[in-house]
């Protein structure tokens, strides 16, 4: 092996980042079951700035089809409720004092199919991100070749990067399959 090394750890870290982003996007998909992550992307105009709901109250899942938000400041209840209503989640909040209840309705078959398509789009974005990281690794090999990397070393690093890419793409496919099965489960 020559002195020239390709930083596969950095490439792996970037591919892992694409997987983490995919898991976060999958968590935001409503599957008919209540999840505290359902309200994570919602921000409320509070105290002069946009604030995430989980910083204004306690988010709980007391039962499989219910999310509750216990707002700490009484004056913020109406603003939190309005933000949830306008978030596009398709959930109608019910207020009881400082507790906002979010009943999660059953998903119909058509909506389930739409959500599986959205999940597939998220997975494709993750695959593209992983392939972009692979391309960056291959560009590093090309630069190293110009600096005198041997043919054998080029082949070794090419195989290493390809193996890393294949492993991450397979993980994306597996995560997508699991998410689609979860969405279609009645």
| Structure tokens, 11 | 């490439």
Radius of gyration for the alpha carbons in the chain, expressed in angstroms and rounded: 23
pLDDT in tens, the chain (186 residues): 456 778 889 999 999 999 999 988 887 776 667 777 778 778 898 888 988 888 889 999 888 888 899 999 898 899 999 888 887 677 788 999 889 998 887 778 887 888 888 889 999 999 999 999 999 999 999 998 888 888 899 999 999 999 999 999 999 999 999 998 888 876
CATH of 36-103, one of 3.40.30.10, 3.30.1360.40, 1.10.357.10, 3.40.190.10: 3.30.1360.40
Alpha helices in the chain (DSSP H): 8-27, 77-85, 109-146, 151-184
DSSP 105-133: PPPPHHHHHHHHHHHHHHHHHHHHHHHHH
CATH 1.10.132.20 domain position(s) in the chain: 8-27+108-184
What is 8-27+108-184's CATH topology? Topoisomerase I; Chain A, domain 4 (1.10.132)
Cβ–Cβ under 8 Å, residues 69 and 87: no
Q: What DSSP designation does 36 have?
A: G
pTM: 0.69
3-state secondary structure 49-73: EEEEHHHCEEEEEEECCEEEEEECC
């Amino acid at each position: 092996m020559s002195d020239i090394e390709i930083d596969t750890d950095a490439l792996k870290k970037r591919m892992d980042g694409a997987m983490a982003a995919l898991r976060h996007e999958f968590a935001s998909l409503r599957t008919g079951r209540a999840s505290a992550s359902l309200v994570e992307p919602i921000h409320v105009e509070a105290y002069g700035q946009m604030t995430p709901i989980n910083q204004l109250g306690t988010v709980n899942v007391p039962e499989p089809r219910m999310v509750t938000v216990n707002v700490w400041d009484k004056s913020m209840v109406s603003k939190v409720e309005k933000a949830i209503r306008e978030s596009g989640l398709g959930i109608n909040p019910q207020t009881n004092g400082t507790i906002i209840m979010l009943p999660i309705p059953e998903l119909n078959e058509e909506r389930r199919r739409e959500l599986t398509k959205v999940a597939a789009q998220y997975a494709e974005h993750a695959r593209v991100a992983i392939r972009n990281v692979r391309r960056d690794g291959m560009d590093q090999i090309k630069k190293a070749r110009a600096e005198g990397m041997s043919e054998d070393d080029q082949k070794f690093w090419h195989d290493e990067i390809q193996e890393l890419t294949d492993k991450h793409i397979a993980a994306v496919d597996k995560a997508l399959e699991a998410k689609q099965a979860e969405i279609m489960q009645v």
